[in-house]
Each structure stands twice: as structure tokens, then as C-alpha cells.
Amino acid sequence: MQENRFNKKIFSMLIERACGDRSIHRFAKDADISYVQLRKLHAGLQENPPGKKLIKKLSENSLGGVEYEDYIFAAGLCEKKKSADAPSSHDARILEKLSSLSAGQRKTAEEFIDFLSRPGGKKSGGAR
């Protein structure tokens, strides 16, 4: 059962990070995928989520710590795993980084966090 929906903005953010210092064209070439399709995904112009085969190619060639699961979740192709872990030092570092961002950057980060933490797609998290 697919409970999450494709979030083009988050997918675009993942591609931006995954490019590292490469151009979109270079990233597409490295991943052996269509530049046009990657450009559409990056610009948020593709209506449907990419398939798992394309996501696998992206993840295998991503920089910046972007992983397969990140793409799959942003594409709306899986359910979010629930974690019973206690807050870690990693969580504290994330909060510290969040507080050092500009207002605009915080808003984008908060939208991403809202997207990741919304329960089973029951809330839309905003109009798109």
C-alpha cells in the first residue's frame, strides 16, 4: 500500500545535494540516465515519480550522502519507518545546524521535516 505521495520539491532538493559540484548534465551522464528526465525532476516539472530502476541509478551515483531510501521516500514509493530510538547526539547536531540557518533556509528545512514526519499521508502538508 502506497501511503505517501511524490513530493517534487523534496526530490529536487535531493538531486541538488546529490550533484555535489557536478552539473545536472554530468550527474545524468554519470548515472547513465536521460538528462531531460533528470532536469525535469530537478526543476519539479515531472508529474509522476521516477521508478525504482531510475532511483537506483541516481542513488548509486549520488554525492552528499543522499541514499536510495531518501529518493524512495520522496518519490512516495514506501512507508516511513517508525523509530523507537531515543534522541541521539546526531539529533542534537541537526537541531544546532537548524538554528544556525537563515529564516528562508529554516522554512525549507521545516517543510522537509514536515514531509518526512507526517503520519501515513493523512495530512497533505500544504497545497502543491
How do residues 35-48 score in pLDDT, each as one tens digit? 999 999 999 999 99
Query: 80 CB contacts (<8 Å, ≥6 apart)?
Result: 4, 73, 116, 117, 120
Distances from the Cα of 71 to the Cα of 14, 49, 79, 82, 89, angstroms? 7, 10, 12, 18, 25
Q: What is the pLDDT confidence band of residue 19, given thresholds at 50, 70 and 90? A: very high
Tracing cell 529518493 back to the chain, one arrives at: 71
Instruction: Please report, to the nearest 10 degrees, the dihedral formed by the alpha carbons of residues 74, 71, 34, 23 taken in order.
Output: 100
Q: What is the pLDDT confidence band of residue 98, given thresholds at 50, 70 and 90? A: confident
Residue 59's pLDDT is what? 95
Beta strands in 1-128 (DSSP E): none
Residue 128's pLDDT is what? 36
Residue 34's pLDDT is what? 95
Distances from the Cα of 95 to the Cα of 74, 99, 100, angstroms? 22, 6, 9
- Rounded Cα distance between 126 and 113, Å, is 13
Q: What's the whole-number mean pLDDT along residues 101-120?
A: 75
List the Cα angle 81/87/90 in 5-degree steps: 90
- What digits encode the pLDDT tens for the residues 26-73? 999 999 999 999 999 999 999 999 999 999 999 999 999 999 999 999
Share of the chain above pLDDT 70, in %: 77
Q: Give the chain's mean pLDDT.
A: 81
| Stronger pLDDT, 113 or 60, i.e. the higher one | 60
- Reading phi first (left if > 0) and then psi (alpha if -120 to 50, else beta), residue 22 is in beta
Q: Which amino acid is at 115?
A: F
